[in-house]
């Protein structure tokens, strides 16, 4: 038995785009007449390749997320895999029972009640009537649409459509679960329920393939990711790497679309050193050729500033990459400006899947924006604690020019994995969440 759940080979889909309805009729008739009289047939359409030569394999038990901008071919790919679209050329191979949630209300008869649609959809998925009888109460409970289960689905809201469709699919125990962005219309509670259900599907050994714009979901749920751009496979690999490349491209496009502010008058920036650093302990500016070489593959930005070094320091201001749970540390960032602008110096701590879990920018830390001068050098030191779950973590550092406060910015320099460090296990009582903060509680006997 093969361990491949899904295999796509040179998968392509081409659509014919007509400028007006008359061209469609001309294309149907004229080329044939031109061939009969020996002329070169004329084409009255232009081609749009929604997907172009996509090839990949997904193994049984994997969870793979598909990410990309709108119009990149994500939904087309899922429809080709499910067989609701025919490829222009290429092949699809799927092993096992497939449950697919593609479009809102797809596969539902609007005149049938919710109950009738449950039985109809379950039959399409290969379940017998007896099997549906056994699972119906669970399906109805998961969908949680109350008495509407007995009403025609044409009376349903978009959220009710998705609830019922997802309930049928998830409780059919599929070998392969394929989900498009239809879940985005669900409310917060239902989305959380769906994520829990997808996790349990994963744990049962099923293969999950889903489309999402949520980078966090891609990193957390998926072992691998597929990044599509303009119908082509831009990257396939570890989910965190794919997600980071997608974020990087989006930020670079944001930079291209955002003009930097005009040069401003400058006054010296206030000392950003932490208060308990004495004047004799003020650090010297550091430039590291080794750091620069190591970061070459992990940095991007407009180039209006350059991070020359980053270090994680303990309470004695000694460099470290091994820290205790909840240890006080200093993140120190050295950067050089190549423009005149007010900039923010930011850092974020990521877990082993590169989910950002802690961090701050200049303003969140209560500091003013740094009035940078071209050619100026700056050292920013942040003091923080690391109440983190044990394991490997890394620090991402950014120099940005805020455009709309708390909304958008131009990224001058971004360095991923500037420092990689390990957090030791919490003594006496291990923590199971990513971050632990002390709590107070009361118990009232009743």
**Per-residue model confidence as pLDDT tens digits over 336-347:** 999 999 999 999
- For residue 49, give Cα distances in angstroms to 28, 74, 318: 20, 13, 56
CA–CA separation, 406 and 102 (whole Å) = 34
pLDDT at 394 over 80: yes
b or e along 139-166 (b: 16 or more beta carbons within 10 Å of the residue's beta carbon)?
bbebbebeebbeebbeebeeebbbbbbb
- What integer pLDDT is reported at residue 272 of this predicted model? 44
Q: Would you state the structure tokens that stand for residue 346, as one six-digit string?
A: 């930011």
Work out the angle at residue 92's Cα, subtended by the Cα atoms of residues 88 and 98, and round it to the nearest 5 degrees: 125
**Per-residue model confidence as pLDDT tens digits over 330-374:** 999 999 999 999 999 999 999 988 889 999 999 899 899 999 999
Q: Which helix (H) or strand (E) holds 45?
A: none
Region 296-315: what's the mean pLDDT?
91
Please say whether the beta carbons of 58 and 78 come within 8 A: no
Region 48-61: what's the mean pLDDT?
92
Region 282-310: what's the mean pLDDT?
89
- Bridge partners of 299? 415
- For residue 235, give Cα distances in angstroms to 32, 55, 126: 42, 11, 34
Region 98-123: what's the mean pLDDT?
81
Please say whether the beta carbons of 358 and 401 come within 8 A: no
For tokens 């969870």, what's the residue? 63
Task: Count other Cβ atoms within 10 Å, centred on residue 32.
Answer: 10
- What integer pLDDT is reported at residue 273 of this predicted model? 41
In 3-state terms the chain splits into helix, strand, coil percentages (rounded to 5) of: 30, 35, 35
Q: Which helix (H) or strand (E) holds 219?
A: helix 215-221
Do the domains 258-423 and 4-237 match in fold? no
Q: Could you tell me which CATH number the domain at 258-423 has? A: 2.70.50.60
What is the phi/psi pair of residue 92, to 5°?
Answer: -125, 135
The stretches of 89-184 forming alpha helices (DSSP H) are 114-124, 129-143, 158-170
CA–CA separation, 97 and 177 (whole Å) = 9
pLDDT at 259 over 70: no
b or e along 299-317 (b: 16 or more beta carbons within 10 Å of the residue's beta carbon)?
bbbbebbbbbbbbbbeeee
The stretches of 18-67 forming alpha helices (DSSP H) are 21-36
Q: Which helix (H) or strand (E) holds 283?
A: none
Give me the chain's average pLDDT, please: 85
- Identify which of 92, 79, 105, 96 has the alpha carbon closest to the alpha carbon of residue 174: 96
Q: Which helix (H) or strand (E) holds 284?
A: none
Q: Could you tell me which CATH number the domain at 4-237 has? A: 3.40.50.300
pTM for the structure as a whole? 0.72
**Residue spans per domain, the chain:** 4-237, 258-423
**Per-residue model confidence as pLDDT tens digits over 219-258:** 888 889 999 999 999 999 999 899 989 988 888 887 776 6
- What integer pLDDT is reported at residue 186 of this predicted model? 60
Torsion-angle region of 143 (φ positive above 0: left; ψ -120 to 50: alpha; else: beta): alpha
């Amino acid at each position: 038995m093969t361990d491949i759940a899904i295999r796509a080979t040179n998968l392509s889909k081409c659509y014919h785009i007509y400028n007006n309805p008359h061209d469609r009729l001309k294309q149907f008739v004229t080329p044939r007449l031109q061939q009969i009289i020996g002329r070169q047939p004329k084409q009255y359409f232009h081609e749009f390749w929604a997907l172009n030569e996509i090839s990949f394999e997904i193994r049984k038990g994997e969870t793979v997320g598909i990410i990309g901008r709108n119009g990149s071919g994500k939904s087309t790919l899922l429809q080709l895999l499910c067989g609701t679209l025919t490829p222009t050329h290429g092949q699809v191979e799927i092993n096992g029972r497939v449950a697919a949630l593609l479009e809102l209300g797809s596969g539902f008869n609007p005149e049938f009640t919710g109950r009738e649609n449950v039985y109809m959809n379950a039959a399409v998925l290969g379940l017998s009537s007896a099997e549906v009888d056994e699972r119906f109460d669970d399906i109805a409970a998961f969908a949680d649409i109350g008495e509407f289960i007995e009403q025609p689905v044409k009376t349903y809201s978009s959220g009710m459509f998705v609830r019922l469709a997802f309930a049928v699919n998830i409780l059919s125990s599929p070998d392969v679960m394929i989900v498009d962005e239809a879940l985005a219309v669900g409310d917060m509670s239902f989305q959380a329920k769906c994520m829990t259900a997808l996790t349990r599907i994963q744990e049962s050994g099923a293969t999950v393939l889903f489309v999402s714009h949520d980078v966090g979901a891609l990193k957390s749920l998926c072992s691998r990711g597929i990044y599509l751009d303009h119908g082509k496979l831009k990257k396939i690999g570890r989910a965190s790497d794919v997600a980071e490349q997608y974020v990087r491209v989006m930020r670079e496009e944001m930079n291209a679309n955002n003009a930097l502010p005009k040069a401003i008058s400058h006054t010296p920036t206030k000392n950003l050193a932490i208060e308990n650093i004495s004047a004799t302990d003020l650090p010297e500016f550091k430039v590291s050729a080794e750091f620069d070489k190591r970061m070459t593959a992990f940095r991007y930005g407009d180039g209006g500033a350059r991070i020359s070094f980053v270090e994680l320091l303990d309470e004695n201001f000694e460099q470290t990459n091994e820290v205790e749970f909840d240890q006080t540390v200093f993140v120190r960032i050295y950067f050089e400006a190549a423009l005149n602008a007010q900039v923010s110096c930011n850092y974020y701590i990521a877990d082993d899947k590169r989910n950002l879990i802690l961090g701050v920018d200049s303003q969140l830390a209560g500091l003013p924006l740094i009035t940078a001068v071209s050619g100026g050098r700056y050292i920013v030191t942040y003091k923080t604690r690391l109440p983190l779950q044990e394991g490997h973590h890394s620090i991402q550092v950014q120099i940005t020019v805020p455009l709309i406060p708390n909304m958008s910015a131009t990224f001058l320099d971004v360095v991923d994995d500037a420092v990689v460090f390990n957090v030791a296990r919490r003594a006496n009582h291990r923590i199971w969440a990513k971050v632990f903060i002390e709590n107070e509680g009361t118990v009232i006997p009743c």
